[in-house]
């Protein structure tokens, strides 16, 4: 029984994706619904583990443990809304069959990745996700989008290849790729450094982050799915899986990585303050927030680790929502230029509310879920005995408040710019999706014990 659930989580989106182009030829509606069903099936099956406390199972290189289930729930719950949102956003564009194919295949790859216990399987799914990312960024087939897609592909694949050398190094040390057999083993420094290249490039950490702001040329649901909610979390997930749960690594990394993260958090927050493109601001914000996640996971304390995991969930929901809100505005205005926006709350009242809810969560203001995550991460680094790094991240958090307030004010408040007399609110499915994500960001905070319980289960195995 457990194995059926486990296989469904992975195979429903992974194999189902291949049927979508065929369904698309029969009926676009059928394809749209099938895409949602595949992703929803993964969510439901992952949730079943939580709801019915199924014994976590293991089979053929796949393992459902608390961390995997947590990541699966976090990723698919946002993905469901993104697929629904896509119905409204992508409607009328060319290559829709490919779009849904790639989106669902990507979710499948993500599921495969989080449940894998074998390093080679992880690498394989890692590269499938990069391939989907490449196709989806270049979705509009314009010259600029293709250049940007290539950039994202080359940076992340290069990082992954270096990581693969690290994996081979692990094989050289211990004679296996199976993580179950290597629990608690110590990794040499050079292997850790090689693997970090893969992790940091995937999770867009300075200076390997440059592809992420440029990837904003993709359709907004893609940006939301790949560059906020799911893809960029692969790197930090791999960090948690490899260096916290499986292997022992040098204590030096509990300082080195927080320092790298601190630089990443500050530089990207600074860049977000001046960017003129709404999606670039949010993308820089993603880089900055990913640094908080990395800080929590890498600081070496349990509190920080719990905070880092909660941050993954809180950020996926809220940042996913922010990109989708930006998408609604951009879809209607046909521009991402902040200078041409202003006073849009009259035309986009619901989007403005959803944006504010999600922004409050990213800022870390109670009672939103982002507050608990940020608090625990900062407590984690202070517990680890590094108050100065904690202070730097507080500065990063201050800047988060400022740039998100700035972007909210520039888009929605103030006098109307007059550039877009015909602009109006997005379609019902789009509005419904962003409102749902905003409300979830709030509810997850008020009911923080729900994700908190799940995360506690993760820490028990350490």
Partner 1 sequence: MTGLFTSVAEFLSRPYMFIAFMIAVPALGGVLVWLLRRFGAARFIVSLIFALSNLFFAASVYYGGGVNTSAPFLRALQLSFITTEFSAMCLFAAAVLFLFVSAYSLSYFKAGHGGVFMLYYFISLAMVNGALASDNIGMMLFFWEGLLCTLFGILLIGNLNNPRTAIKALAISGTADLFMMLGIVATIQAAGTVSISEMSSLPVTKMGALGCVMMLLGALGKAGAMPFHSWIPNAASDAPTPFLAAFPGSFEKILGIYLITRIFTDMYDITPGSAISVFVSIVGAVTLFLGVGMALVQKDMKRLLSYHAISQVGYMILGIGTALPVGIVGGTYHMLNNILYKSGLFIVAGAIEKRTKTTDLHNFHGIGRKMPATTACFIIFGLSIAGLPGTNGFFSKELIFDAALETNIVFYILALVGAFMTAASFLKLGGAAFFGRLRTPDGIDENEIREVNAGMLTPMCALAVLCLAFGVYNTYPIDTLIGKSLKIEESFSGWPHSSTLVIISCAVLAAAVANHIYGTRHNGGALNAVDHIHYAPGLKQVYAVAEAGYLDPYRWFMGAVNVFSAACTWIERGVSWIYDKAVPGIVNGVGNALRQYSNGSLSRYLITALVGLLALIAIFIAAIR
Q: For residue 217, what is the DSSP state?
A: G
Cβ closer to partner 1: 104 or 376? 376
Residues 6+ apart with CB under 8 A from 279: 216, 220, 223, 323, 326, 330, 336
* Gap between the Cα atoms of 91 and 427, Å rounded: 11
Cβ closer to partner 1: 4 or 447? 447
- For residue 69, CA distances in Å to 38, 124, 283, 374, 405 come to 17, 20, 27, 22, 34
> How many degrees, rounded to 5, is the angle at CA 324 between CA 319 and CA 327?
130
Tell me how far, at minimum, the Cβ of 252 lies from partner 1, in Å: 22
Q: Does 28 bind partner 1 (CB under 8 A)?
A: no
Tell me how far, at minimum, the Cβ of 292 lies from partner 1, in Å: 13
Identify the residue among 117, 254, 268, 285 touching partner 1 (CB under 8 A).
Answer: 268
Identify the residue among 413, 419, 428, 462 touching partner 1 (CB under 8 A).
Answer: 413
* Gap between the Cα atoms of 131 and 28, Å rounded: 24
* Gap between the Cα atoms of 212 and 228, Å rounded: 10
Q: Is the peptide bond before 207 cis (omega within 30 degrees of 0)?
A: yes
Identify the residue among 274, 419, 461, 462 touching partner 1 (CB under 8 A).
Answer: 274
Q: For residue 62, what is the DSSP state?
A: E
Tell me how far, at minimum, the Cβ of 154 lies from partner 1, in Å: 9
Specify whether the CB–CB gap between 37 and 107 falls below 8 A.
Answer: no
Specify whether the CB–CB gap between 78 and 122 falls below 8 A.
Answer: no
Cβ closer to partner 1: 121 or 204? 204
Output the DSSP codes for 315-358: HHHHHHHHHHHHHHHHHHHS--BGGG---TTTT-HHHHHHHHHH
How many residues bind partner 1 (CB under 8 A)? The answer is 55
| Cα atoms in the Cβ-side hemisphere of radius 13 Å centred on 247 | 25
Tell me how far, at minimum, the Cβ of 416 lies from partner 1, in Å: 9
Task: Annotate each residue in 331-350 with x if it binds partner 1 (CB under 8 A) or - if it does not, as one string.
Answer: ------------x-x-----
Identify the residue among 226, 269, 299, 434 touching partner 1 (CB under 8 A).
Answer: 269
Identify the residue among 273, 429, 439, 443 touching partner 1 (CB under 8 A).
Answer: 273
Q: For the CA atoms of the chain, what is the radius of gyration? A: 20
Tell me how far, at minimum, the Cβ of 185 lies from partner 1, in Å: 29
Q: Which of residues 170-209 bind partner 1 (CB under 8 A)?
A: 206-207, 209
Task: Annotate each residue in 136-165 with x if it binds partner 1 (CB under 8 A) or - if it does not, as one string.
Answer: ---------------x---x----------
Closest C-alpha among 334, 286, 324 to residue 440: 324
Residues 6+ apart with CB under 8 A from 320: 78, 81, 82, 224, 225, 228, 229, 437
Identify the residue among 178, 270, 335, 439 touching partner 1 (CB under 8 A).
Answer: 270
Identify the residue among 231, 448, 454, 458 touching partner 1 (CB under 8 A).
Answer: 448
Which window, 46-54, 176-184, 273-281, 316-324, contacts partner 1 (CB under 8 A)? 273-281
Task: Annotate each residue in 390-409 with x if it binds partner 1 (CB under 8 A) or - if it does not, as one string.
Answer: xx--x--xxx-xx--xx--x
Which window, 86-94, 97-105, 131-139, 266-274, contacts partner 1 (CB under 8 A)? 266-274
- For residue 11, CA distances in Å to 38, 118, 313, 392, 460 come to 9, 17, 23, 43, 28
Specify whether the CB–CB gap between 102 and 40 falls below 8 A.
Answer: no
> How many degrees, rounded to 5, is the angle at CA 124 between CA 76 and CA 258?
70
Task: Annotate each residue in 347-386 with x if it binds partner 1 (CB under 8 A) or - if it does not, as one string.
Answer: -------------x--xxxxx---xx-xxx-xx--xx---
In the chain the first and final C-alpha atoms are separated, in Å, by 27
Task: Annotate each residue in 36-75 with x if it binds partner 1 (CB under 8 A) or - if it does not, as one string.
Answer: ----------------------------------------
Task: Annotate each residue in 285-304 with x if it binds partner 1 (CB under 8 A) or - if it does not, as one string.
Answer: ------------------x-
Secondary element (H or E) of residue 211: helix 211-214
Tell me how far, at minimum, the Cβ of 155 lies from partner 1, in Å: 7
Tell me how far, at minimum, the Cβ of 280 lies from partner 1, in Å: 10
Tell me how far, at minimum, the Cβ of 313 lies from partner 1, in Å: 14
Tell me how far, at minimum, the Cβ of 87 lies from partner 1, in Å: 31
Cβ closer to partner 1: 37 or 402? 402
Strand partners, 58: 63
Task: Give the interface with partner 1 as residue ranges (CB under 8 A).
Answer: 151, 155, 206-207, 209-211, 214, 266-271, 273-275, 303, 306, 343, 345, 360, 363-367, 371-372, 374-376, 378-379, 382-383, 387, 390-391, 394, 397-399, 401-402, 405-406, 409, 413-415, 448-449, 452, 456
């Amino acid at each position: 029984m457990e194995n059926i659930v486990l296989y469904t989580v992975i195979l429903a989106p992974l194999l189902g994706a291949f049927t979508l182009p065929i369904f698309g030829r029969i009926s676009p509606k059928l394809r749209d619904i099938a895409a949602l069903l595949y992703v929803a099936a993964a969510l439901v099956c992952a949730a079943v583990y939580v709801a019915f406390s199924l014994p976590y199972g293991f089979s053929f290189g796949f393992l459902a443990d608390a961390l995997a289930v947590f990541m699966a729930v976090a990723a698919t719950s946002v993905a469901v809304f993104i697929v629904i949102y896509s119905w409204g956003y992508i409607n009328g564009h060319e290559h829709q069959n490919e779009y849904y194919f790639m989106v669902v295949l990507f979710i499948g790859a993500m599921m495969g990745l989080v449940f894998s216990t074998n390093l080679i399987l992880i690498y394989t799914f890692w590269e499938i996700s990069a391939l989907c990312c490449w196709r989806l960024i270049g979705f509009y087939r314009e010259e600029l989008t293709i250049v940007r897609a290539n950039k994202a592909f080359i940076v992340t694949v290069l990082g992954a290849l270096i990581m693969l050398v690290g994996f081979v190094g692990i094989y050289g040390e211990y004679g296996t790729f199976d993580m179950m057999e290597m629990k608690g083993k110590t990794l040499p420094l050079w292997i850790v450094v090689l693997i970090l290249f893969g992790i940091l490039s995937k999770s867009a950490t300075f200076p390997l982050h440059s592809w992420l702001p440029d990837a904003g040329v993709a359709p907004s649901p893609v940006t939301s799915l790949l560059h906020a909610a799911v893809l960029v979390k692969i790197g930090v997930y791999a960090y948690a899986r490899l260096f916290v749960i499986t292997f022992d690594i040098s204590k030096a990394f509990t300082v080195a990585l927080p320092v790298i993260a601190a630089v990443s958090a500050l530089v990207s927050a600074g860049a977000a303050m001046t960017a003129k493109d709404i999606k670039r601001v949010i993308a820089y914000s993603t880089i900055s927030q990913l640094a908080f996640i990395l800080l929590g996971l890498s600081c070496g304390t349990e509190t920080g680790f719990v905070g880092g995991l909660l941050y993954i969930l809180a950020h996926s929901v809220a940042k996913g929502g922010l990109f989708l809100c930006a998408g609604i505005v951009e879809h209607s205005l046909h521009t991402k230029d902040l200078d041409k926006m202003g006073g849009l709350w009259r035309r986009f009242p619901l989007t403005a509310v959803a944006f504010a809810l999600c922004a409050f969560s990213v800022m870390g203001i109670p009672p939103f879920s982002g507050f608990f995550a940020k608090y625990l991460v900062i407590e984690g680094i202070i517990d680890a005995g590094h108050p100065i790094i904690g202070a730097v991240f507080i500065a990063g958090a201050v800047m988060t408040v400022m740039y998100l307030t700035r972007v909210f004010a520039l888009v929605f408040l103030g006098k109307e710019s007059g550039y877009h007399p015909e602009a109006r609110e997005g379609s019902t499915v789009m509005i419904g999706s962003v409102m749902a994500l905003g409300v979830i960001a709030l509810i997850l905070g008020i009911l923080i014990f729900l994700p908190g319980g799940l995360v506690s289960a993760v820490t028990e195995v350490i």
